[in-house]
Amino acid sequence: MRDLAAELDERRARGLYRSRRILEGVQKPVQVVDGRKVVAFCSNDYLGLAGHAKVVAAFRHAVGTYGVGAGAAHLVNGHTRAHHQLEEELAAFTNRERALLFSTGYMANMGVAQALAGRGDHVLEDRLNHASLIDAGLVCGARFQRYRHATGVDLAQRLATLEATGERLVLTDGVFSMDGDLAPLPELSRIAAAHHAWLMVDDAHGLGVLGATGAGSLEHFGLDAGEVPILMGTLGKAFGTAGAFVAGSEALIETLIQSARTYVYTTAMPAALAEATRASLQIVRTDGRRREKLAALVARFREGAGQIGLRLMESPTPIQPVLVGDSARAVRMSEHLLEQGMLVPAIRPPTVPEGTARLRVTLSAAHTKPQVDRLLEALEAAQGAEAPA
């Protein structure tokens, strides 16, 4: 048997050990974590909707109507009117024929890959895709390849070498969760179409944030359902709730209902959560000021970071990684920030490639300009503390 304790000790020694923190209260910028008051710059609650009064009120009201649990799978008797209305509204929001709810983004990605690809088919993925997409491609049984990050030429060359038989499924993040950059979706769409391949975009970090109405990376690039046939989005980030959905054609959604194992064989998300998401979706669609404020905070942070010599990555999104390199140094800087009341996690391998450990700063419309300025001051101090003597 493996010596698990020894493996854990080695992980600690390499600066790769992960520890959970305990949050008290609502998800918001000023939090009490492990008994300590901090300003958190690590949440994916990009629009500050997780504790929004209208969203919370919708949830509480729906609990009185539907109770707490769904009780069964969607295909048994767990699919309520709340679920159905949310699906219809998500389809309209993304300008697609249908949408289908899943319990998590991980399950949505696994379900799509398993339903559309298998033995004899091909799955091609960006090298920096989220783990859920990578696992989906590996588990579905298809032949699996990873192309160079955001490099359409490499994808095209790989597609060109495939035999004519079998399905071809190209999977990519819309916004890459650890770098914050955008996939070159127009180029990927043209390449996929030229090679008769499905293109699926996981827009977990783009929906609510990008586009004139918050409809995400596809709206940002002006792409429609014909150009990107499969869209996956999560509800636990900019929407502030939990769960996920896949949007696409009538035939795609019916196929998933019939054969996506992660949809068929699991209990539906609570109906009250669906009602809360309907409330948050309404805010996303109608309150563009939140996106405008968020964009202003991102610009303020990037300008300030440049002035103090921080190494940022090319990200126009609320994900603003500060590249450190060494894992142990990233951990020490994160701890230094915590001492100053700033919660910013150190991201290390295997989540990111070796030598690219970073502080993953995420911004929210709920943050204030003074809070962002305090973070910059704390980062400058942490950087100074790590400078060679």
pLDDT tens, N- to C-terminus, the chain (389 residues): 999 999 999 988 887 788 899 999 999 999 999 999 999 999 999 999 999 999 999 999 999 999 999 999 999 999 999 999 999 999 999 999 999 999 999 999 999 999 999 999 999 999 999 999 999 999 999 999 999 999 999 999 999 999 888 899 999 999 999 999 999 999 999 999 999 999 999 999 999 999 999 999 999 999 999 999 999 999 999 999 999 999 999 999 999 999 999 999 999 999 999 999 999 999 999 999 999 999 999 999 999 999 999 999 999 999 999 999 998 899 999 999 999 999 999 999 988 999 999 999 999 999 999 999 999 999 999 887 766 55
d(CA 112, CA 126): 17
Q: Are residues 270 and 346 both part of a single domain?
A: no
Q: Domain ends where: 235, 268, 286?
A: 286
**CATH number assigned to the domain comprising residue 191:** 3.40.640.10
pLDDT of amino acid 388? 57
Per-residue pLDDT at 14: 82
Q: Which of 255, 297, 1, 291 is nearest to 114 (CA)?
A: 255
DSSP 189: H
Distance CA 119, CA 7 (A): 35
The verdict on 202 and 295 lying in the same domain is no
* Domain endpoint, select from 238, 258, 286: 286
Give one word for 148, left, alpha or beta, with left for phi > 0 and alpha for psi -120 to 50.
Answer: beta
Asked whether residue 2 is domain-assigned, the answer is no
| 31-68 pLDDT per residue, tens | 999 999 999 999 999 999 999 999 999 999 999 999 99
Q: Are residues 230 and 344 in the same domain?
A: no
Residue 97 lies in a domain: yes
Each residue's pLDDT tens digit, 81-136? 999 999 999 999 999 999 999 999 999 999 999 999 999 999 999 999 999 999 99
The count of domains in the chain is: 2
Sign, CA torsion 259/262/264/269? negative
- Residue 180 contacts residue 204 (beta carbons within 8 Å): no
78 in a domain, yes or no? Answer: yes
The predicted pLDDT at position 295 comes to 97
Residue 329 lies in a domain: yes
The verdict on residue 3 lying in a domain is no
Q: Specify whether 131 is located in the same domain as 18.
A: no
The CATH number for 300's domain is 3.90.1150.10
Domain containing residue 142? 53-286
CA quadruple 3, 6, 8, 14: dihedral, nearest 10: -140
Q: Residues 138, 249: one domain?
A: yes
Indicate whether 93 and 208 sit together in one domain. Answer: yes
- Tell me, yes or no, whether 76 and 187 share the same domain: yes
- Please check whether residues 281 and 326 belong to one and the same domain: no
- Cβ(168)–Cβ(198) below 8 Å: yes
pLDDT of amino acid 379: 95
Assess whether 332 and 209 both reside in one domain.
no
Residues 63 and 32 placed together within one structural domain of the fold: no
Classify residue 71: in a domain, yes or no: yes
CA-CA distance, 95 to 291, in Å (whole number)? 20
Q: Are 337 and 276 contained in the same domain?
A: no
Task: Give the span between the Cα atoms of 227 and 380, in whole angstroms.
Answer: 44
- Residue 6 inside a domain? The answer is no
Tokens, residue 331: 């951990």
Determine, yes or no, domain membership for 1.
Answer: no
For residue 259, the model assigns a pLDDT of 97
Catalytic residue numbers read 177, 205, 237
Residue that is last in its domain, among 225, 260, 286: 286
| One domain, residues 171 and 95 | yes
